[in-house]
Structure 1
Amino acid sequence: MEFIILIASAFGGGLFGALIGALPAFIMVGIIGLAGMTAGAGAADLVGNVAFGSFFGPHIAFAGGVAATAYAHNKNKIESGGNILLPMAKLNDPMTLIVGGMFGSLGFVINHIYGSILAMPTDTIAMTVFTSGMIARILFGKTGLFGEKCADGSRAFVPTKESGIFLITMGLGAGLISAYYAVTTGLVVLGFLVSATTLIFTQMGHPVPGTHHITLISASAALASGSILIGATFGVLSALLGDFIGNAFNSFCDSHIDPPAGAIFLLSFVIIIFL
């Protein structure tokens, strides 16, 4: 019975994520998580049960919002199925919200399978977000998992020299600061929560990049190895891997498959196995 209740609560979380939009739901992970850290453990356990639970857990609320957006595009209700900034409340369509709720429940079940049943040695929440995005693409998209070919038939999977240097610089800087705080405080999710919160500026229309895959991976590697420099190195790797995954899955496509989630679960596997 408790498991059924959790699935039902995840349905609500996925629906709520669709209602307010996928990215706003993820931003709330950062806000609620940081608030929970300052407030201490408390009855609600803001970090574990709210920020990463059925209310705003990325595998539930963000994934629900992503799927609802893909569905709405499939039904010609919105222009882009990859616009994760757009709240689905705009459409006044109950079925779009229900799809979000269904993917919220699906995300809970997939994460339970990955984590509790299969005991996958990785970040199962990130792996679930990535899996859910692929399922939504298969069900509601028309461009295939890797998108359509561009007009001239070429696809750029690796960054140019200039953008590559930028990614390395970004990964190094964000990785260093997150690794430092992870080693000195023992809080592996601190940088991740800060990065998630900064996406509020992206929602406002400013060109602020996602860095949560960098800060989380660098913190995880730093704590596992005891070295801030190793943490920063993994931050650089995560920045480059996230860009590659974005180019591979989100170029010339009609839904969102989350590149940071892909980088997080792949590099988390490497950290757990080898560090």
Structure 2
Amino acid sequence: MITVEVILAAFGGGVFGALIGALPAFIFVGVMGLIGIAVSACGGNVDIVGNVAFGTLFGPHIAFAGGVAAAAYAANKKHYLESGMDILTPLLKTKDVGVLLIGGIFGILGYLINFFFVSIALPTDTPGFTVFILCVIARIIFGSTGIIGKTEIAATSEMEKRSFFPDSKTLGFSIVWSLGLGLVISYIVSITQINIIGFCISAALLIFVQMGFEFPTTHHITLVAGYATMATGNMFIGAAFAVIACVVGEIVGRTLNSCCDTHIDPPATTIFLCSFVIFIFM
């Protein structure tokens, strides 16, 4: 339902996402999601997952998207950040009301767009699709590199063409680890019947990225595996979709999120693409 109260709450969620940074806000999706799952498993009647983790406070289509847009604005229009790709830095440091207002405006847009998609029963992961749309809007408004970025990148002394596909070594490594992760997550989803449990674990583990460690981003893989497992009742199909999500994520990241000056989220893009296939055909 669209009310004045919920619109103001979405504005606040977007402001909060800008204030603390897009990635920190997203990490709390995982933390609150796990808390909500635990509360539900204990018989609690408060929907922390829906109302908090994916609601107006930490919903990725609100807080994360607001933080991404605010970072794009802060970097490219105000020069507070070195790059609009920086989604780790809390924008409290800017002390700029305009930066927070951009976050709040995108928070409202995130709520409204997602509400529309849900109301028409769009067959995809609507928060993921909403994040993708808002990231594209932020790049168009605040960026200068275009949707797919620069076609060439500067090397040490010559121009080197971008690679949109992983090399064989990277691809093989990604297939093995995503298959292993897909198998264990699909098994857990099959016995718990909670399709977002892997997603929440993956989102919470991004705390290590925030701390500066080289750490894999896996929430698109675990959520797609959860969706496929629940849709088919088959953990092996879930694992197969985990591998598909990993490869799609690699390609999307190289296409939309490299050689660019704002962030278009590869996991969100991968989630909406893969979930569309699952929701339509399975």
**TM-score range for the pair, normalised by the shorter chain length:** over 0.9
2:13 aligned with 1:13, yes or no? yes
Root-mean-square deviation (CA, aligned residues, Å) is 1.3
Instruction: Summarize deviations over 1:60-101 as a string: whole Å, max 9, x none.
Output: 000000000000012211101001111001111111011001
Runs of 4+ in structure 1 deviating by more than 3 angstroms, as ranges, are: 41-44
SS at 1:218's partner residue? Answer: helix
In the alignment, does 2:87 pair up with 1:84? yes
Q: Which runs of 5+ in 2 are unaligned?
A: none
Cα deviation code 1:119-157 (max 9, x no counterpart): 210000000001110000000001111111223251211
- 1:197 is aligned to 204
State the match for 2:114 in structure 1: 111
Amino acid at match of 1:14: G
Moved more, 190-199 or 162-171: 162-171
TM-score, length basis structure 1: 0.97
Of 237-246 and 143-152, deviating more is 143-152
Please tell me the residue identity of whatever aligns with 1:52. F
Query: Which residue number in structure 2 is paired with residue 228 of structure 1?
Result: 235
* Partner Cα distance (2:269, 2:257) in 1: 12
Instruction: Pick which of 145-154 and 69-78 moved more.
Output: 145-154
Question: Counterpart in 1 of 2:64?
Answer: 62
- Residue 191 of structure 1 deviates from its aligned partner by 0.4
* Equivalent-residue separation in structure 2 for 1:21 and 1:51 (angstroms): 16
Q: How many residues align?
A: 274
How far residue 174 of structure 1 moved from its aligned partner, in angstroms, is 1.4
CA drift at 1:42? 4.3
- SS in structure 2 of the partner of residue 105 of structure 1: helix
Q: Distance in 2 between matches of 1:177 and 1:19?
A: 36
Scaled by the length of structure 2, the TM-score of the pair is 0.94
Q: Secondary structure of 1:127's match?
A: helix
Cα shift at 1:167: 1.2
Which residue is 2:276 aligned to?
269
Between the aligned partners of 2:230 and 2:122, the Cα distance in structure 1 is 20
State how far apart, in whole Å, the 1-side matches of 2:171 and 2:3 are.
45
- Cα offset for 1:170? 2.1
Q: How far 1:57 sits from its partner (Å)?
A: 0.2
Separation of aligned partners in 1, 2:240 and 2:45: 38
2:49 alignment partner in structure 1: 47
Q: Is it true that 1:251 corresponds to 2:254 in the alignment?
A: no
State whether residues 170 and 239 of structure 1, in contact with CA within 8 Å, keep that contact through their aligned partners in structure 2: no
